[in-house]
């Protein structure tokens, strides 16, 4: 397997109109330094984030901001979900005690949608999330809980759900997503392995067929993650597909708006959820910082406000209490703000790199059809996935 140096530039191709092309995508894990430009975020992580209630103070120009109303979204199941959620992903970046406190702060701040997965810290995050839900005074019916099926469970997605329900001590989830559109061969003793190898006898359409059979009282809606337009087309055109995904969860932020994909979802009544709405803290962009200064908010609030305004459900994550509160107190952005933010995707930038996970860039050339000879051959020569580097968490740890 070739080594990964942290930055990969990949070409995209599509059979959509020319204006749909995202010609170059750069994978990056480097935070730009704009301090020398005088554009440091006005509210760093040690300071309180601004709220919509006091953002009217703003700058010396007297500009006044309007709090943003975060409306619920209606899924194609006719169920509703909150217009913003709390993301719980991240491999071991926070202790379980920090996560529990953060979840309780989020609930008290008004978050009711929580997105998790059994892959996150080997189920420990789900266990802590379930504990927070059950410890809160908020009825279960007011929460919208999402979890996912890891690729090693591609043949038995209901078993993955059973494990998640046990982890969270819940009777059902509001949405169950296919975490990645690839099947992996299970590894004995490690249900959330990144390898051994791809399961060449299975594909995502088969997994979806199995997910459609899961009782609705256990998973009230089903959806997919990390699918491109081509994969969605393959799924929707499959003879075994009887249920249109209610949700598509993908990476989404001002530098990766994925506009063609968003249009496709709207046309097919699929609700987009977007992880990494802050580009994993890399929203320190001059344009975003200028807009933040204008509104008297922080850069993260700009990115999340933009995400809500364009109709997606952003899933910000933070364990900082002030940031958590700020992430749900948003402002209306005006047409000039939105036009400036629209320029940031001229060179799209992904943060989450599947090559680092699976040893293969599943987004490369938007080529996700197993039925295309070129890519069937390419997949057949995929190296074993990189060894998973993670901390180990005891089942009962908190």
Which residues are part of the catalytic machinery? 120
Q: What's the CA gap between 91 and 96, in Å, rounded?
A: 11
Rg of the chain's alpha carbons, rounded to an integer?
Answer: 20
Tally of CB atoms within 10 A around 391: 11
Residue with tokens 């530039």: 9
Q: What's the CA gap between 289 and 130, in Å, rounded?
A: 36
CA-CA-CA-CA torsion for 77, 103, 397, 141, nearest 10 degrees? -40
Q: What's the CA gap between 310 and 68, in Å, rounded?
A: 12
φ, ψ of residue 228 in degrees (nearest 5)? -100, 180
Buried b (16+ CB within 10 A) or exposed e, 225-245: bbbbbbbbbbbeeeeeeeeeb
Residue 342's alpha-carbon distances to 48, 253, 265, 339, in angstroms, are 28, 11, 19, 5
Q: What's the CA gap between 354 and 19, in Å, rounded?
A: 26
Q: What is the 3-state secondary structure (H, E, C) of 275-289?
A: ECCCHHHCCCCHHHH
Q: Specify the pairing of strand 9-11 against strand 24-27.
A: antiparallel
Three-class DSSP category at 136: coil
Question: Contact at 8 Å (CB) between 262 and 271?
Answer: no
């Amino acid at each position: 397997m070739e080594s990964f140096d942290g930055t990969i530039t990949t070409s995209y191709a599509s059979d959509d109109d020319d204006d749909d092309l995202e010609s170059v995508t750069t994978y990056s894990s480097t935070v730009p330094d704009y301090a020398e430009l005088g554009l440091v975020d006005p509210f760093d992580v040690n300071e309180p984030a601004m709220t919509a209630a006091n953002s009217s103070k703003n700058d010396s120009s007297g500009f006044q901001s309007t709090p943003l109303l975060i409306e619920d979204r209606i899924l194609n199941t006719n169920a509703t979900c909150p217009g913003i959620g709390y993301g719980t992903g991240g491999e071991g970046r926070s202790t379980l005690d920090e996560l529990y406190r953060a979840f309780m702060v989020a609930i008290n701040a008004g978050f009711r949608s929580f997105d998790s997965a059994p892959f996150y810290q080997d189920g420990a995050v789900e266990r802590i999330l379930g504990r927070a839900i059950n410890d809160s005074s908020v009825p279960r019916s007011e929460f919208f809980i999402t979890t996912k099926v890891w690729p090693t469970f591609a043949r038995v997605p209901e078993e993955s759900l059973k494990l998640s329900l046990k982890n969270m001590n819940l009777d059902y989830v509001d949405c169950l997503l296919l975490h990645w559109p690839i099947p992996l061969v299970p590894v004995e003793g490690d249900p959330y392995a990144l390898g051994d190898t791809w399961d060449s006898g299975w594909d995502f359409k088969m997994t979806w067929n199995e997910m459609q059979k899961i009782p609705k009282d256990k998973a009230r809606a089903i959806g997919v993650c990390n699918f491109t337009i081509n994969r969605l087309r393959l799924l929707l055109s499959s003879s075994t597909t009887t249920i249109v995904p209610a949700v598509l969860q993908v990476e989404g932020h001002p530098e990766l708006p994925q506009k063609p994909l968003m249009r496709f979802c709207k046309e097919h009544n699929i609700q987009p959820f977007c992880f990494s709405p802050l580009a994993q803290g890399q929203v320190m962009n001059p344009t975003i910082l200028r807009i933040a200064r204008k509104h008297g908010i922080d850069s993260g609030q700009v990115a999340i406000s933009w995400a809500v305004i364009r109709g997606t459900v952003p899933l910000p994550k933070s364990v900082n209490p002030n940031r958590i509160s700020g992430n749900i107190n948003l402002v209306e952005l005006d047409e000039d703000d939105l036009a400036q933010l629209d320029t940031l995707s001229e060179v799209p930038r992904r943060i989450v790199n599947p090559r680092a996970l699976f040893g293969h860039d599943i987004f490369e050339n938007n080529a996700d059809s197993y039925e295309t000879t070129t890519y069937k051959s390419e997949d057949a020569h995929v190296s074993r996935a990189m060894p998973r580097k993670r901390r180990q968490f005891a089942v009962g740890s908190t």
